[in-house]
Structure 1
Amino acid sequence: MTPTPTPTTLAEAPVGADMQIDAVQAPAEAPEWGPWLEQIGFVPGEPVRLMTRAALGGDPLVVRIGHSTFALRKAEAACIRVSATAAT
């Protein structure tokens, strides 16, 4: 039996790993982030990949979802729960 992958946030994801979005949970101090992230494509079930982190602190992050590439702050990426996708 294969263990179920432990969800993490996109901010903690390893660079280059194929991930899947599990949930988007905006913080109480910025509830508008949830709908905004979903409007630009960060919805449960979508594949996502962290392409790179900026040097010296790792903020912002470069993220690929579908054919689009976004720069997200670590605080925004921390709202996106992800898990590793199975290798094919």
Structure 2
Amino acid sequence: MTLNKVPVGSTVTVKKITGKGATKRRIMDMGIVKGVEIYVRKVAPLGDPIELTIRGYELSIRKSEAEWIEVE
């Protein structure tokens, strides 16, 4: 399952990041790496962006970026 399909209020663990190059590096620089727990706080009314809590801070990412993050 990918992060963009996780319901609001759920906590998941990152399994894999499938992006490539600079995009993958940027996601990892934001603290989203294998094994990290992510709590899905909110989703905007039109589904983009998604607000997450990760490592004690809030982060908003695009739905297209969330598709590259595999979770369990």
Quick one: which of 19, 23, 26 aligns to 2:16? Answer: 23
What secondary structure does 2:27 align onto?
A: helix
Quick one: which of 60, 63, 81 aligns to 2:49? Answer: 60
- Distance in 1, matches of 2:24 and 2:61, equals 13
Two-structure CA RMSD over aligned residues (Å): 1.1
Q: Which runs of 5+ in 1 are unaligned?
A: 1-7, 84-88
Deviations 1:6-57 (A, max 9, x none): xx11111111111000011116xxx3210111111100000001111001x2
Does residue 38 (structure 1) correspond to residue 28 (structure 2)? The answer is yes
| Structure 1 residue 62 displacement after superposition | 0.3
Identity among equivalent positions (%) equals: 26
What secondary structure does 1:32 align onto?
A: helix
Runs of 4+ deviating beyond 3 Å: none
Quick one: which of 71, 80, 84 aligns to 2:69? Answer: 80
* Paired residue total: 72
Q: Which amino acid aligns with 1:67?
A: G
Q: Which runs of 5+ in 2 are unaligned?
A: none
What secondary structure does 1:59 align onto?
A: coil
